[in-house]
Structure 1
Amino acid sequence: MKSTILRIGSFLSLLTIGIVFPARAQEGWQWQNPLPQGNDLLGVEAIDANTIIAVGRYGTSLRTTDAGTTWSRMDVTTNTDISLKSVLFLNSSTGWVVGSLGSIFYSSNGGKDWVSRNSPAGTRNLNALASGGGSVGFAVGDSGTIIRTTDGGLQWNSLASPATADLRSVFFPTSTIGYVAGDLGTLLKSTDAGAHWFNVPDTSATVRDFQSIYFRTRDTGWVSGSQGVILGTTTGGASWVRQFSGTSTTLLQITFNNTSVGFAVGGRVIVQTSNGGTTWLPAVLDTVNALRGISFSDVRNGWIVGDNGETKKTTDRGVTWTRLHENITFDLYSNIFIDVHRGWAVGAEGTIIHTIDGGNSWFRESTPVTKSLRSTFFVSATQGWAVGDSGTLLATADGITWSQTPVDSPAALSSVHFPDPLHGWAVGQRGTILRTTKPHRLEHCDFRPQFRYHFDSEDDRRRCALDRGR
């Protein structure tokens, strides 16, 4: 049976990161959040305005033919140890995917079916793809690896490389002129269709790990990388000028959709230029997820992918970007359902989410804390509790509005349970046990050195004090 690893941390009933589950739903588990899935996406290819391919960790591969309304899983590989890092289509039919462990995959029908190809890279990671025109393509990877196909991706052969650093990006603006960028300031150029490569000096004297390279013409191009670096050239790499991006975030991919308008993404940031890179303006595009790949099908329609399955879309030349799914991507640690329709989940940064339709949709509830919540319990559709770090205890009387209940203990609380609306227990660090018969009032007493007992009445406190004095 084919299998995939679901990177949970944001999925509700599967709370262990890295568990292996069946690719299909035969064994009863399906993604509910994030949608369409939650593994990190590392690369994206917009074949046209409606057809987009995205690939990522744990062999993740997705395809949409309706501009992102629905997504289907592609069976590029069943090996969940492989991270798929880059995808490229020469046309609507022929495409390639490369990734870790030297993996190469080929499709001849628009991504519906994939076959593995022999890789001259051995087990060295392949990080990026580029078209060399016609049936020619290139891939680059770790330890200076450069490989080429001349038959549309059926066969690949190694090329001599002057680099030893890991190579991150390759681009051919013409069938004969090509460029490669990589770690430790590596910049390479070929003028004979990739047969031979030579080092291009970085005249800007900016030694960075370069992550992406893009050329608009044979001589005009840009490279981006660590610490927010962007370099530009109009001389085919003979000289480079640093362009200030306004960010120190590593920029993982750079692209232009015309001669003036360009974008680079990395971390939670997008930087944009409208004047060919003379000035760049940074903006925070996501508050949670790192952004890793960007692709335009035309000057208007573009896509961004990132961590936790994040997918964004623009239809107005990159002026605005829209999340395809309003996913919750904070780590989630606990959930409870009181019936098949109504449930809650809690997690990092005070996150509480609620569903009333069996998990088909979730909405986030407002909470008065930012501490991680570790456990939740409900005795009815309205009455519930949540506990978490630093002695955090929250209560709700309507299932929506939450208030904080003071607890005389700083210990992190990891679990809460109520057998009925009036009797409850919470447990946590350093042997902490809390008990209540009045759920909005909890106090503690160090009854024994190795445990913490918590009482909710003055009589209990006095008894505790008497016992401590014995």
Structure 2
Amino acid sequence: MKNYFKGSVGILILAVTLLYVQTSHAQSNWFWQQPLPAGNSLKDVKFVNHQTGYAVGDVGTIVKSTNGGFNWFTLNNPKKSQLWGIDFAPGNASVLIAVGDSGLILRSSNAGDSWSVIQFQAGVIYQGVDFVNSTTGYVVGGGGRIFKTTNAGANWFQQTSPTGANFLCVNFFDENFGAIGGTTRLLLTTNAGTTWIVQNLTFFPFDQVSGIAALDTNTVIGVVNNTNGTMYKTTNRGENWLIQSLNIPLFEFRS
């Protein structure tokens, strides 16, 4: 299991179009951090530690903080496609992967100073990215696409997906147990993605599982964007699911 500071259930990023940062005294006060250094909407934020964090968003925006989020500066991105997700490799935090529109995967091996472009299957949107350890990571996106790397993002291979649904998020607890959320779908794997099992859950036609977290070897929580906000939870690897309405109407959750 990796110890990290990243968006997940418990630290769900709710409609990350604004970037806030907490005071150093852990109070309930929040400072407005946009539009500096960029005024574009932000979609995901990950912190490597208490000081260093990254956020990505519209028009290829990538920003970085090295002082706990009090100040941010823009990183150079060779592509201007919208970015939806970013993650780092635990144990090798200099390695970063960002994903977005137009089949775009960006990789940095020097903490964001420069980025290489890995682009394939143009027209597909990649929204979810998660690293399990220093070498293994996953990217998910449109049309049920699942990609895996075992060399810190230098190369990717496609895994077999049981559905063509659009995937929005992915999270692994360890090397074997992970979950994917998407449009009217929630999937689990217990064998590092060799097989993915679609969970027997009831969704409305436009429901999106856009927040997902594998909390231990048995427990997964998924949060659904719908009229009330719904949370699904299993504590036995999907044999049974608990359903809870969050009563948060028309609110977007992202993890």
User: Residues 272 and 103 (structure 1 numbering): CA distance in 2 closer, same or farther, change over 3 Å?
Assistant: same
What is residue 152 of structure 1 aligned with on the other side?
111
Deviation of the 1:67 alpha carbon: 5.5
The within-5 A match list for 1:205-354 is: 206-227=163-184, 229-248=185-204, 249-267=207-225, 268-294=229-255
Q: Distance in 2 between matches of 1:275 and 1:111?
A: 37
User: Residues 68 and 180 (structure 1 numbering): CA distance in 2 closer, same or farther, change over 3 Å?
Assistant: farther
Q: Is the 8 A contact 2:137 2:152 kept in 1?
A: yes
Q: Report the AA paired with residue 108 of structure 1.
A: T
What is residue 195 of structure 1 aligned with on the other side?
154
Deviation of the 1:258 alpha carbon: 2.2
Q: Is the 8 A contact 1:216 1:259 kept in 2?
A: yes
SS of alignment partner, residue 97 of structure 1: strand
CA deviation string 1:217-246 (max 9, x = no partner): 22221111102x111112222211111234
Deviation of the 1:161 alpha carbon: 3.6
SS of alignment partner, residue 45 of structure 2: strand
The Cα RMSD (Å) is 2.5
TM-score (norm 1): 0.48
Q: Report the AA paired with residue 269 of structure 1.
A: T
Return the match for 2:136 from 171, 174, 177.
Answer: 177
Q: Which moved more, 1:243-252 or 1:153-162?
A: 153-162
Identity rate, percent: 30
Deviation of the 1:94 alpha carbon: 0.8
User: Residues 111 and 193 (structure 1 numbering): CA distance in 2 closer, same or farther, change over 3 Å?
Assistant: same
1:100 and 2:50 are equivalent in the alignment: no
Q: Is the 8 A contact 2:59 2:81 kept in 1?
A: yes
Q: Is the 8 A contact 1:84 1:98 kept in 2?
A: yes
Kindly report structure 1 stretches of 4+ aligned residues shifted beyond 4 Å.
44-47, 51-55
SS of alignment partner, residue 101 of structure 1: helix
Q: Distance in 2 between matches of 1:247 and 1:77?
A: 39
Q: Is the 8 A contact 1:173 1:216 kept in 2?
A: yes
1:119 and 2:80 are equivalent in the alignment: no
CA deviation string 1:287-307 (max 9, x = no partner): 42424135xxxxxxxxxxxxx
Q: Is the 8 A contact 1:53 1:63 kept in 2?
A: no
TM-score (norm 2): 0.85
Q: Is the 8 A contact 2:147 2:156 kept in 1?
A: yes
* Higher Cα radius of gyration: 1
Deviation of the 1:160 alpha carbon: 4.6
Q: What is the aligned length?
A: 242
Q: Report the AA paired with residue 213 of structure 1.
A: V
Higher relative contact order (CA 8 A, sep 6+): 2
Q: Distance in 2 between matches of 1:139 and 1:287?
A: 29
Return the match for 1:168 from 102, 127, 151.
Answer: 127
Q: Distance in 2 between matches of 1:291 and 1:279?
A: 25
Return the match for 1:130 from 77, 82, 87.
Answer: 87
User: Residues 285 and 88 (structure 1 numbering): CA distance in 2 closer, same or farther, change over 3 Å?
Assistant: same
Q: Distance in 2 between matches of 1:200 and 1:103?
A: 29
Q: Is the 8 A contact 2:105 2:117 kept in 1?
A: yes
Q: Distance in 1 between matches of 2:12 and 2:177?
A: 27
Deviation of the 1:123 alpha carbon: 1.9
Q: Report the AA paired with residue 285 of structure 1.
A: L
Q: Is the 8 A contact 1:170 1:178 kept in 2?
A: yes
Q: Distance in 1 between matches of 2:157 and 2:223?
A: 28
Q: Is the 8 A contact 1:183 1:210 kept in 2?
A: yes
The within-5 A match list for 1:354-433 is: none
